[in-house]
Structure 1
Amino acid sequence: MSGIPPKKAALAVAAVAGLALVTFVRPFPPAGQIVCYALLLGLLLIAVALPRLDDSAVAAAQMKNDHERRRDTFTAPRPAPTPRPEASLRNRWQTACKHHDNVLSAYGAYELDPAMLLQYPALWDLSAQPVMDFHDALDMAGGLRTDEFPADESDATDYIDSIDILRSAWTKADRFARSTGTDQLGADDARDCRRALKLLRHADGTAGRERASYLGQVITTVDRLTDRGVVAPAPKISEELATRVQLAIEA
């Protein structure tokens, strides 16, 4: 009975002793003897034949607890993965400012260089959709830009979004102007652009009054193109050409 728990072993011993006592002493009449035998045999059965019922119940309970722990392990929400660090809003705003400056610099090459005006007059064609879109985006970005990081973060987000639009619009406008050249112009207007560009290049190889003369013809041609609506008024270019003429005369 080494596998029987102590309490059940004692119960079995008591049942066996009772059976022996009832068998040899016969303290009850026959009917009582039978009842006594039945009770003692039942106790012996519980102690000997079914010694592990409690152990089985304990084991079953343990298995149930283990199952519930495993279930909780699988069903418990797992911690969310740590997101990759994104650039701060301030850094994105500063990057947008740099992109804005780059667009302004690229556009300035057209605004300040007469050769760009004569080679790619389509950039001044305000009836062309890519050019209109660019100027709309330029005005929007300029209106949202601030010298310092905005106190309202939504203003910074709006500015960043406007620069994305501006960069895309500038790429399309620049591509349109370069791919078009003077092709959208009539024959006379295209010829004036080519002639003025040739005079401008001649002026770069001369000095003094000769240079001033070439530049003067360029100014006359640009004014004529502006009057005919071929190009929009470009005051910065006119000022640039006038300054070159004055410097050539004074040289």
Structure 2
Amino acid sequence: MGGIWNAIGDYWWLIFVVGGSVGGVTRGIGAWNERRAQRRLERYRIKQEASVARAEAESRGRVDSAAVQAELAAAAAEHERTDETWFAYETDLATLLDYPMLVDLREPLTETFHRDRSRAELLRPAPDSTDQGAVRSYRDAVHAYSTSLAVAEQEAKRRRRNDFSPVEQERLARAQRLLALAMNDAASGEERRQAYARARSELDGLIALPTAGAAALERRVQAAIEAG
């Protein structure tokens, strides 16, 4: 026993070396734990920020989609109103002859209106579209169509038949009366057929009737002939 204590006495300085090493290890472990805790907190913070950013982006996406849909609905409504204005002329051929400029494609205003009409229809997106670029292109095309029709309509009403010679104006007037007869349900089928054929003859070389309106009238005349 005395030998052990003598040995310890000879190496007493190791206590400070070992103690210092243990203390260093303890401090190192503490620092590592602290860094690990900080990294965990940093990962949690990043994850929370990402979640918040994702939620904000989704919210903006919902708001943007709703705004695009509202813009599309407004453009579609304007498109429908403009179509109705034109269809009122297109399907009432007798009235259209009061304003023949609307179907005279030699007129720049008329050509522009018909081109804008085709473009607006071509660019019409699907009803559920949320493509902002496509919707805005459609909106602009519809606005151009509406504007060009209004300008052409105003000019056609101002000019009426004045661009035609007196002889041509007489032909337009006769064609107008004949078309009114062709659309008269009280007339016989044969009367309506003859009136329509004579009206087309009067208009030949002057103006071209709108395809849709002419086709609809031809169907009415044919139905009247078959019924008679």
Q: What TM-score do the two structures reach when normalised by structure 2?
A: 0.62
SS of the equivalent of 2:84 reads helix
| Deviation digits for residues 50-71 of structure 1 (CA, Å, limit 9, x no counterpart) | xxxxxxxxxxxxxxxxxxxxxx
Amino acid at match of 2:172: C
- What residue in structure 2 maps to residue 208 of structure 1? 188
- What residue in structure 1 maps to residue 105 of structure 2? 126
Determine the C-alpha separation between the residues in 2 that align with 1:215 and 1:172: 35
- What residue in structure 1 maps to residue 89 of structure 2? 110
Determine the C-alpha separation between the residues in 1 that align with 2:165 and 2:193: 24
% identical equivalent positions: 25
Q: CA deviation at 1:136?
A: 2.1
- What residue in structure 2 maps to residue 174 of structure 1? 153
- What residue in structure 2 maps to residue 189 of structure 1? 168
Q: CA deviation at 1:214?
A: 4.8
**Residues 113 and 152 of structure 2 are in contact (CA less than 8 Å); yes or no, is this contact kept in structure 1?**
yes
SS of the equivalent of 2:97 reads helix
Amino acid at match of 2:157: R
Aligned residue pairs: how many? 163
Structure 1: 4+ residue segments shifted above 3 A: 199-203
Determine the C-alpha separation between the residues in 2 that align with 1:90 and 1:142: 18
Whether 1:234 aligns to 2:214 is no
Q: Would the alpha carbon gap of residues 126 and 202 (structure 1) be closer, same or farther in structure 2, given more than 3 Å must change? A: closer
SS of the equivalent of 2:162 reads coil
In structure 1, runs of 5+ residues without a counterpart are 1-86
**Residues 200 and 215 of structure 1 are in contact (CA less than 8 Å); yes or no, is this contact kept in structure 2?**
no
**Residues 90 and 149 of structure 1 are in contact (CA less than 8 Å); yes or no, is this contact kept in structure 2?**
yes
Larger radius of gyration: 1
Question: Bigger relative contact order, structure 1 or 2, given CA contacts below 8 A and separation 6+?
Answer: 2
Determine the C-alpha separation between the residues in 2 that align with 1:107 and 1:158: 22
For residue 154 of structure 1, the aligned residue among 109, 133, 142 is 133
Q: CA deviation at 1:223?
A: 3.9
Amino acid at match of 1:207: A
**Residues 176 and 199 of structure 2 are in contact (CA less than 8 Å); yes or no, is this contact kept in structure 1?**
no
For residue 220 of structure 1, the aligned residue among 176, 198, 216 is 198
Determine the C-alpha separation between the residues in 2 that align with 1:215 and 1:183: 29
Determine the C-alpha separation between the residues in 2 that align with 1:215 and 1:193: 18
| Deviation digits for residues 205-233 of structure 1 (CA, Å, limit 9, x no counterpart) | 84325xx32552233222442x31x2125
SS of the equivalent of 1:248 reads helix
Q: What TM-score do the two structures reach when normalised by structure 1?
A: 0.57
**Residues 123 and 174 of structure 1 are in contact (CA less than 8 Å); yes or no, is this contact kept in structure 2?**
yes
Q: CA deviation at 1:191?
A: 0.6
